[in-house]
Structure 1
């Protein structure tokens, strides 16, 4: 798969088209704007994204650094500004204060951000003891004021989904859990429902789950890193939330001449255009965000 360094976003009827000044352009004209990757030349791994109208909100990882869980805002998926941090400090154990050890390289990892019925929710699971997951909520990420809803059992690299009937699900690796509306209780199988079995090629990492629902189908974006193999981005698809899910490898390439890209999310704009945000290791810079236009073929994102 050969992917060019520059991309073009084509849009109609008022979508901002990755152009900050498109409000001054006839909204019925076709707008094409070029952009180059990476869109953020900084360490911003483990990307999760949500949308409310024209507003996109992106969350990343800060690990042991405080304040943590940075939330960024954009109108065009290219130009991002900081909105808020989900929390000021974590205090679950003394190591956060460098007492009896440290949490270097641990702390807040891969998160999930979702907009649902006027509120924004964040789920993340610190990669340290005690192994718990945190649920936060706010009315406005720009103002911050994130409130801790609850702590639950640990869900590794988990993704949050509010289904069309408002039922709440958490996806992690190859399992799905249904939660009570207040996130405090697991409904049904306490160990989760296994929605697919890893095939023989999945001998290494399978994580960074980001779930969406489109046209009645459920799609899980996950990174796969088979032992001795190349990092790749996969999608698992099903007609029911509990599966069974089928797999497709959608990106496996030494992208832009650097290491293989993977782990990210799918997002649409209000006019039905689709994109993916994934990250790529860029040595000392860190894991930089890569923006890709997405097309759908036979109900698979390409």
Structure 2
């Protein structure tokens, strides 16, 4: 099965007007498809009933730089997570439309002290566009990605749920790489920005055998990156994005090292999200019956970069064509024709009571956590892990993606073990943030709405927040609620409220305007936090978290 990786960042050499990442997957190791695949037909939906059509975006959550593959009757996708840990989530689907989070390819960001948020910080570093592949010869999944423009890491697992283990570290940083498992089991990597290279790996995947430049992007096109690497009907393809408004593809009939010819796939194509960007930087994948699809992402800040799916046909001379609806990427298409799913996927919304001792894969920490300062089982206990007045510098902040177009997070919190100086609550977290939560000072606990938490372009804190509203609270339990409207074309308000009985909620503070600048790359997240401003020792217990939609 061929795949590739792609990523985006604000590295100075990338002048991305609205950078977005991608993912790809095709099936070099799957039976060859016909030149023109059959049209998409109704599929069986998650509840077992025939679904005549699907609506874009297929996932209205922040999953960028997607690489997508099929293994048997199951589809998998990988996405960028930057500074969040664990990194590189693996999504799973049986129909390309309904997805769940199955695990993470990178269990911990052990790439340097800055990822521990302990004296340094790794915001907007870490897991960029990366590649997910499956190697049938050893029945193993491979994840490949470069970190900090310095090294490339490869992780492997026999099941996407894990355990994932590091296979090797390569000294060549394969930027925006795509991994291809060729039909003869050889491993190739396509990578680069504007100048595209192909590398061949050793049979065990641990070392580089050779690397060669295979293409230079014409100046008339500009920047191409986000490689996805495929072998389809004996031809080699490198799928490339022009950030953030185009998609191109290279084709070679002479082997993986070229020469390659280029064709435009899309440019300035209207997308399916009002106010959002052009679908791009995604991957190709083939269904069991030979139909092809393109899973791209759409810039949709403040929510992030969200996946959209469109069918693809092929010209008689072997070039992909995205199927449009009235000249645009469709908001709706006929559902893929696939076998009935073996089960319903786990929803990305709903209730979590943290009953198990491990967290579900829907959760990711802001940087690596201090694992001695939290526990799960009969609720989530967050003990203070950092003494700071800066939420951006506090360890053990636990994040959850926001569901679009609007959604609400409601948290039940036991604050009886808070200590003086502690701050705990529920945030709308990004480079401009706000939160509702508790401040305990002088033995008195208040519920507060805080805004004005800000970062500069180097992700250094420029504002630690100002109280905009507060109220006294008593007892040991409180319900905190944050509502986020992440429609990119609208006013983008965030609203906070609280309750002392879990039934009647009281608004607290004014609307918070969610920022929509792209340069932080990741979208807003709901975030649970507890940090000290005076001394460690306090704790809170989250007994229930619910993500709901209207």
Q: Which residue of 2 aligns with 1:6?
A: none
Q: Distance in 1 between matches of 2:313 and 2:40?
A: 12
> Judging changes above 3 Å, is the alpha-carbon distance between structure 1 residues 180 and 108 closer, same or farther for their aligned structure 2 residues?
same
Pick the aligned partner of 1:66 from 66, 85, 88.
85
Secondary structure in structure 1 of the residue aligned to 2:302 = helix
Q: TM-score, normalised by structure 2?
A: 0.48
Query: Is 1:291 paired with 2:309?
Result: yes
Give the 3-state SS of the residue equivalent to 1:86 in structure 2: strand
**2:145 is matched with which residue: 124, 127, 132?**
124
Q: Counterpart of 1:10?
A: 40
Cα RMSD after superposing both structures? 1.8
Which residue of structure 1 aligns with residue 55 of structure 2? 36
Q: Once the two structures are superposed, what CA deviation does each residue of 1:13-55 show, in whole Å capped at 9, x if it has no partner?
A: xxx8253355x7xxxxxx7721111111111000001111110
After TM superposition, where is structure 1 displaced by more than 6 Å over at least 4 residues in a row?
A: none
CA distance in 1, matches of 2:51, 2:86: 38
CA deviation string 1:201-241 (max 9, x = no partner): 2333x21111111100111111114xxxx620111111121
Query: How far apart, in 1, do the equivalents of 2:207 and 2:74 lie?
Result: 31
SS class of match (2:43)? coil
Q: Distance in 2 between matches of 1:110 and 1:148?
A: 18
Asked if 1:51 is matched to 2:67, the reply is: no
> Any idea what the Cα deviations from partners look like across 1:153-197, whole Å, max 9, x if unmatched?
211010111111111111103110111022222213xxx211122
1:113 aligns with 2:140: no
CA distance in structure 1 between the aligned counterparts of 2:233 and 2:107, rounded to whole angstroms: 38
SS in 2 for 1:96: helix
Indicate conservation of the 8 Å contact 1:18/1:77, yes or no: no
User: What is the rounded CA distance, in whole Å, between the counterparts of 1:277 and 1:151 in structure 2?
Assistant: 29
State the Cα distance separating 1:88 from its structure 2 match.
Answer: 2.5
Q: Which moved more, 1:167-176 or 1:96-105?
A: 96-105
Which residues of 2 match residues 166-245 of structure 1 at below 5 A? Answer: 166-173=185-192, 174-188=196-210, 192-204=211-223, 206-225=224-243, 231-239=245-253, 240-245=255-260
The residue number in structure 1 matching 2:361 is: none
Select the structure of larger CA radius of gyration.
2
TM-score of the superposed pair, with normalisation by structure 1: 0.85
Aligned to 1:4: none
1:82 aligned residue: 101
User: What residue is the counterpart of 2:14 in the other structure?
Assistant: none
Cα distance between partner residues in 2 of 1:169 and 1:45: 23
Q: CA deviation at 1:10?
A: 2.8
SS of residue paired to 1:295:
strand
Q: Distance in 1 between matches of 2:233 and 2:56?
A: 29
Q: Would you say the 8 A contact 1:18–1:78 is kept in 2?
A: no
| Structure 2 unpaired stretches of 5+ | 1-38, 322-550
Q: Distance in 2 between matches of 1:66 and 1:168?
A: 28
Are the equivalent residues in 1 in contact too, given 2:156–2:165 (CA < 8 A)?
A: yes
Question: Which secondary structure does the structure 1 equivalent of 2:114 belong to?
Answer: helix
Secondary structure, aligned partner of 2:262: strand
1:95 aligns with 2:114: yes
- 2:289 paired residue number: 271
The answer on whether the counterparts of 2:114 and 2:120 sit within 8 Å (CA) in structure 1 is yes
